[in-house]
Structure formats: structure tokens, C-alpha cells
């Protein structure tokens, strides 16, 4: 990291929460935020924290939010968890490879769990705060040219719809807040490791810094939209 970060849109003494902080991007978000002089503290949540938040244990999402409610509001909430592959689960090259158990697991982590994160953590967001959900450009239906990756693509498309829908509702009660769906680009991490191929993958620190700068630039008028790390507005 060679430049300083300052999240000007969040005010002095803002409080941040990173869900999925053990991941490549999640850890990089935390590193940037801990160095921001405006940031009063970074709280982390995941399968290894106390309280624990496991996207495959819905009750843990509600319990974690209840445990953190006393320290609310958070001016920044970043959801950086996600699943592309684990064990026998991996991106399908053909519809012949679609498996019930894999679909359910990927949808649970990428869409159903995050839906409950929206339910339980949006109430902890400050009135001028920003909540960002990490999505993926391969979840864009309009941009799908290569096919494959059924579960991951469809789960991220579902996540995008959940974000858009919640943002419409949020705007009615918290018109100065931002809820965003963000694509980090191809980033060096456990998730991308087997699939990076010839694509130039960026370090997580660089990507997280770019995403935080983007969140800082985006306004409530951009809430509910789907952006790439470089500010490009992506097709649904």
C-alpha cells in the first residue's frame, strides 16, 4: 500500500464492519480501513469470529447482528464473503455438470445468506452510510457471453436482484444511504486461484483500495446499482 485512504463521505470517526474478513479481499478491506485516520474502528465477522457468522447457518446471521446492535450504527458495511469452489464443488462447464448439492451450497453462501445479511444488517447502517455487497461481473445476465459457471453466475445474479430490491426500499426510509453491488475484477485470492488462467489478476490490496475509493465517490443516487472496481456501471 503506497497511498493513504480517507473515506471522506463517511465523516470523521466512522465505524466499519467487514463480513468475510478472513478472505483475500475482506482482509485487504480491513487493512485499508484500519489505516484511515477517519475510521474509529473496524469490526469483523465470519466463520472464525466471535460472534460467529456462517452464511450457511441462518440463525447465526441474526444472532451476530443482534450482538453488534449495541455498537451500531456502522457508517460502512462491506460484505466480502462468497463461494466459487470448495471440495467437490466447482464451476460447471456444462449444464450436464449441474449438481443439486453444489447449487444449494453456492446459492446459500452467495445469495440466500446475503439476503439475511441485508435483512439483519441494513438496520445497523447509519443514515448516511454505505453498504457494499461483493458480487461478480459473471453474475451479469447482459454480459454473459461465455456461458458455464451456472451456480456461481446465477447466485450472483440473484444477489444483484436482492441488492436492487433492498435499495429501493432503503431509499424510502434512508434516502442518504447507499447500498451497492460491486465487482472487484479478477483478484488474487483462494477463490480465484484455480481459475485465473491468462487473465491478469490484481492484488487484493489494490482491488480493495479501488473499491473503497469507488464507494466513497458514489452517491445515494447510485444506490441499488452494479459497478465494477473502476467505476464502470455494469449491465444486469
Ligand X SMILES: NC(=O)c1ccc[n+]([C@@H]2O[C@H](COP(=O)([O-])OP(=O)(O)OC[C@H]3O[C@@H](n4cnc5c(N)ncnc54)[C@H](OP(=O)(O)O)[C@@H]3O)[C@@H](O)[C@H]2O)c1
185, 198 contact by CB (below 8 A): no
Nearest approach in angstroms of CB 114 to ligand X is 9
Q: Contact between 33 and ligand X (CB under 6 A)?
A: no
Binding of ligand X by 157 (CB under 6 A): no
Q: Is residue 109 a contact residue for ligand X (CB under 6 A)? A: yes
| Minimum distance from residue 5 beta carbon to ligand X (Å) | 18
Cβ 88 vs Cβ 136: under 8 Å = no
Q: Does 210 bind ligand X (CB under 6 A)?
A: no
Q: Return the number of the residue (174 or 207) whose C-beta is nearest ligand X.
A: 207
**Interaction of residue 54 with ligand X, rule CB under 6 A:** yes
**Contact criterion met (CB below 8 Å) for 61 and 117:** yes
Size of the site for ligand X (CB under 6 A): 28
Cβ 49 to ligand X, closest distance in Å?
9
Q: Do 7 and 14 meet the contact criterion of CB atoms below 8 Å apart? A: yes
* C-beta of 109 vs 162, nearer to ligand X: 109
Which CB atom, from 20 or from 126, has the smaller least distance to ligand X?
20
Which CB sits closer to ligand X, 55 or 77?
55
Q: Does 190 bind ligand X (CB under 6 A)?
A: yes
Which is closer to ligand X, CB of 118 or CB of 134? 134
Amino acid at each position: 500500500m503506497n497511498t493513504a485512504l480517507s473515506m471522506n463521505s463517511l465523516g470523521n470517526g466512522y465505524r466499519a464492519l467487514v463480513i468475510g474478513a478472513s478472505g483475500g479481499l475482506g482482509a485487504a478491506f480491513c487493512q485499508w480501513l484500519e489505516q484511515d485516520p477517519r475510521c474509529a474502528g473496524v469490526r469483523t465477522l465470519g466463520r472464525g469470529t466471535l460472534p460467529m457468522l456462517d452464511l450457511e447457518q441462518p440463525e447465526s446471521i441474526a444472532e451476530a447482528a443482534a450482538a453488534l446492535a449495541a455498537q451500531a450504527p456502522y457508517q460502512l458495511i462491506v460484505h466480502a464473503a462468497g463461494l466459487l469452489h470448495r471440495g467437490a464443488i466447482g464451476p460447471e462447464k456444462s449444464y450436464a455438470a449441474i449438481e443439486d448439492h453444489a447449487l444449494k451450497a453456492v446459492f446459500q453462501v452467495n445469495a440466500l445468506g446475503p439476503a439475511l445479511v441485508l435483512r439483519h444488517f441494513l438496520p445497523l447502517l447509519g443514515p448516511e452510510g454505505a453498504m457494499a455487497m461483493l458480487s461478480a461481473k459473471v453474475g451479469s445476465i447482459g454480459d454473459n457471453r461465455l456461458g458455464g459457471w451456472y451456480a456461481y453466475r446465477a447466485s450472483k445474479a440473484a444477489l444483484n436482484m436482492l441488492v436492487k430490491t433492498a435499495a429501493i426500499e432503503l431509499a424510502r426510509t434512508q434516502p442518504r444511504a447507499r447500498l451497492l453491488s460491486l465487482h472487484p475484477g479478477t483478484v488474487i485470492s483462494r477463490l480465484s486461484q484455480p481459475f485465473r488462467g491468462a487473465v491478469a489478476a490484481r492484488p487484493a490490496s489494490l482491488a480493495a483500495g479501488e473499491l473503497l475509493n469507488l464507494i466513497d465517490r458514489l452517491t445515494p443516487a447510485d444506490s441499488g446499482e452494479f459497478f465494477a472496481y473502476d467505476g464502470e456501471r455494469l449491465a444486469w
